[in-house]
Structure 1
């Protein structure tokens, strides 16, 4: 079972992002504040869960959380400021949207920029250790998957309905045949250097 809280602050927000390693699409982040003594045995790193379970847990998280929110940074912003800064900016934007101000922030990973004067702690593999980070990973993943599904309807040849923008063989073949979409991250190495591109 994951831990309820890292700090002694009751209003502790967990943050995580989704889509950092993708070739296309926005990066999404979520911030979640769970009740102090909350426990949900289903919570885990979103990558360890089936899609069906992630969406079921999303409903439970949104029902039970004190507050939750999503932050988004576009591909154009990613290209301008780099993916590390974009991932942290997405978390800050999620925190900005919370209806309740957190007293402490825990973040999956090892990089974070201070959010005002609110104390924070980065935690490597935190989405497998703390419930609020796991909850944030589930929200970020499912909302980003919904977004990529909509983009797939517009650009079906990249396979975004099942690869979510990650660099699979089908995705790279789609770039080879059709070039880039407006949603591709141009600062990324979209194809190997010896591959011709159409963009």
Structure 2
């Protein structure tokens, strides 16, 4: 059953309610992986009609994602990517690592957004950014859908490159996520320098569980957007 295409309704709402002329959609990929970075894309799309077939990257075939990402790179007004490494994830926890990657992406844009649309219901970004969260925003909101595709294609390419160095792990196929091949390689060879050592998968690997790191998560920002009057 086909999904409804994303629209600019959120972007138009932000323009109308708070005068946000530059709106960046933000989405992440790699949150649940065992290896590799968490990657965040910030995309500014304006209000033009998007390329045909734009939707949540998870609903697209790998081939179509790559094709669409190439179209989006020329179509978006601006986009930038930010990453948080496995070591940063281990040190600070996923929520803080997501914020770090998102800030890196947003600050790499050529123009500072007036508002940010985050996919999901949790604002992991916080002040000083003006944030609106949208559940399933990667399906319903053009700027978030664009960020979703660009983030997924870029991270998959990065993991495929790492897969050339670590052939047994098949990163080109699993992108660092759990899979039978990935787990078998871990059991035999142990984690690579690209693995997250605070993840629970190590608990089940008797030969390697001594490598597990206990992380001390960094608390989220005390000042959240809504507390500063940025809720809209």
Q: TM-score, normalised by structure 2?
A: 0.81
| Contact 2:125/2:131 (<8 A) preserved | no
Q: Does 1:4 align with 2:4?
A: no
Which residue pairs with 1:91 in the alignment? 102
| Contact 2:34/2:196 (<8 A) preserved | yes
Q: How does 1:107-146 map to 2 (within 5 A)?
A: 107-111=118-122, 112-116=124-128, 118-146=129-157
Structure 1: 4+ residue segments shifted above 4 A = none
Q: How does 1:5-24 map to 2 (within 5 A)?
A: 5-6=9-10, 7-8=14-15, 9-24=20-35
Which residue pairs with 1:196 in the alignment? 206
Which residue pairs with 1:78 in the alignment? 89
Closer, same or farther in 2 for the Cα pair 1:19/1:186, shift >3 Å? same
| Contact 1:5/1:36 (<8 A) preserved | no
Structure-2 separation of matches of 1:89 and 1:5: 28
Structure-2 separation of matches of 1:139 and 1:37: 18
Aligned CA-pair RMSD: 1.4
Q: How does 1:17-96 map to 2 (within 5 A)?
A: 17-96=28-107
| Contact 2:119/2:136 (<8 A) preserved | yes
Structure-1 separation of matches of 2:72 and 2:60: 15
Unaligned runs of 5+ in 1: none
Shift of 1:23: 0.3
- 1:104-144 Cα distance to aligned partner (Å, 9 max, x none): 1100112222252x421111111011011011011111110
| Contact 1:69/1:94 (<8 A) preserved | yes
Shift of 1:190: 2.1
Structure ID, larger Rg: 2
- 1:1-58 Cα distance to aligned partner (Å, 9 max, x none): 2112412233110000010000001111100000223333311000000111111111
Structure-1 separation of matches of 2:100 and 2:127: 10
| Larger mean Cα displacement after TM superposition, 18-27 or 35-44 | 35-44
Q: The residue matched to 1:190 in structure 2 has which SS?
A: helix
